[in-house]
Amino acid sequence: MAGFPVHYIWWSVALILAAAEVLTPGFFLLWIGIAAAVMGGVLFLFPGLGALPQALLFITLAFVSCMIYWRFVLPRLRDSDDPEAELLNHRADRLLGKRLVLVSPILNGRGKVGVGDGQWLAEGPDLPQGSEVEVVAVEGGLLRVRAVAADSTAGSDSPAPDTGEEP
């Protein structure tokens, strides 16, 4: 490969690793790709660098870039101040404490509540259709509910029940 700029090879490796990162979960290949891109920059500035120094420098850069990810980036991703981020993949848990309206009566302990434009199976005391209930627990696709007293909503700061209709 005499005469071919080696930094292009490193930049190609960086692009391949970035493309592989898109196809795989996690962020590991991205940081190794960043190390390869930096290697391309180093070889652009110092084209006479031999194969062994390139390999050693790449290993060092890959280790350093991964350490930067593990020490600084990953903790920031995990320690989000957004309470919704904790429930991102737990949709049903977002319903805890919400007040909903029964779309079918609870008979023998089972009924249905309206959530958005859908319905969820609910378990609780027998109540007529249209009653307001509060979600107290979630077990898989089943919502455990309790009746909300009619006078407890007057003058309270609690949110209005979700009737399934958009405002």
Instruction: Answer whether residue 159 is part of any domain.
Output: no
Torsion sign over Cα 64, 70, 72, 77: positive
**Shared domain check, 141 and 108:** yes
CATH code of the domain containing 126: 2.40.50.140
Domain span including residue 70 = 6-78
Per-residue pLDDT of 97-154, as tens digits, reads 889 999 999 999 999 999 888 899 999 999 999 999 999 998 888 999 999 986 554 4
Instruction: Answer whether residue 17 is part of any domain.
Output: yes
pTM over 0.85: no
Among 54, 78, 102, give the residue marking a domain's end.
Answer: 78
Q: Which amino acid is at 59?
A: I
**Shared domain check, 96 and 54:** no
Q: Outline where DSSP puts E strands in 20-162.
A: 99-107, 110-115, 118-123, 132-139, 142-147
| Tally of domains within the chain | 2
Per-residue pLDDT of 35-48, as tens digits, reads 999 999 999 999 98
